[in-house]
Amino acid sequence: MKKLDLIYLCETMGNICGFPVRLYEGNELVCIVDHSGLKYDPMLPFREDLFTLDDHIGTYITPRYYFYGVVRSGDTRLILGPTRQLPTTEQQLRELAFLSNVPAEDTHEFIQAMHSLAPMPLENLQLILCTLNYVINGEKLSLEDIVLNEPSEKQIASTPAKANEEQTIYEESHNTLAIEQALMNMIRKGDTSTLKNWIASAPAVHAGPMAQEHLRQYKNTFIVTTTLAARSAIRGGMDPEEALSASDLLIRNCEALQDVQSILRLQANMLVTYTEQVERLREGIPHTSLAVTVSAWVQKHLSEPTDTEKLACDLHYSRPHLSRKFKAETGMTLTDFILRKKCEEAARLLAYTDKSLIAISDYLGFSSQSHFTRVFKKYMAMTPAEYRAQ
């Protein structure tokens, strides 16, 4: 197909979809059609992952559940997205702006532009990809032919399932209530190490019949387990929208699999992923209901300046009452707790990203880089530069 025809196709799809459509020839961006006003491309943090998709059609899901679609023909790629089925939070968009190297002064405009992108279910995006693939490659594919790529699966490379077709990591069964409760408690408490140890030596547990066909039995087991795991993670403090969005996507991913081993691996990854999310939320705090609630609030507002008045209002307390109650339960003041959480996130960003100190400072809501340095040194016993050098 001529380049001019592909540009026309991009323009048409951009008008129809309501989110960006890009045309790449090799590594070179030929054109991008975007009516949202985005000055910074939110695709760039995931560009390397998107370019590894080497089938004619690929679907990529970011850690915050934005969808991207790729149609490839030789070195030519059409990349569509991002889109998302459910609304996203302000904090998640601030995080995306940070990853996309959006300057602090342009973050608000970036967030507003992201809000204007048209939402779309994953299946609808996949149907569009199938249509484009037929136009470009003359190939008729269905939804079942599309391979999903979800980063959360790749993050867990630690404990593979030692299961075969007659042994599962966990299966919902009429006589496995004790195992179910034990696993769900591990997730609710964020006890990742115990869960991984359990997975490494998991006994064979056979489920009651939930389907007449072998593969369907394992898929149904996965659906039940994922639903229970999402609910346990929510009880552990995980944001309900995030937990349920993850559940929906994991179940769709499972439905696309055609062998038992892949389902079992995905199931083990799912259990560990939910548990790690809760563990991170609860890290360093007493496991009281108030502490978990405050920690969840802080995670949602990491990019905002420290504001205990807003925290108390959002949790329906007066600030003095919340401060006294939190100090009595945790031994920490609210301000200390919030700043400690910000510093823990800063430490992670210093260790695993190449973002500058000023960018991290702005992202985490500090008034200046010098303020960030003082606070970080107070809680981490060294400056941000020293921590990165380590």
Q: 170-211, pLDDT tens digit by residue?
A: 444 444 567 788 889 899 888 888 888 888 776 545 555 555
Classify 273 as helix, strand or coil: helix
Residues in Cβ contact with 131 at an 8 Å cutoff, skipping those fewer than 6 apart: none
pLDDT tens readout for residues 99-124? 999 998 999 999 999 999 999 988 89
Asked if residues 355 and 333 have their Cβ atoms less than 8 Å apart, the reply is no
Instruction: Give the largest Cα separation in the chain, rounded.
Output: 70
- Mean confidence (pLDDT) of the chain: 85
Q: What is the CATH class of 289-389?
A: mainly alpha
3-state helix vs strand vs coil in the chain, percent to 5:
60, 10, 35
pLDDT tens readout for residues 3-57? 669 999 999 999 999 999 999 999 999 999 999 989 999 999 999 999 998 899 9
d(CA 290, CA 203): 36
Domain ranges for the chain: 3-149, 156-282, 289-389
DSSP string covering 50-86: HHT--SSEEEEE-TT--EEEEEEETTEEEEEEEE-SS
Report the percent of the chain where pLDDT is more than 90: 52
Chain-centroid distance of CA 145 in Å reads 24
Letter for the amino acid at 119?
P
Asked if residues 50 and 82 have their Cβ atoms less than 8 Å apart, the reply is no
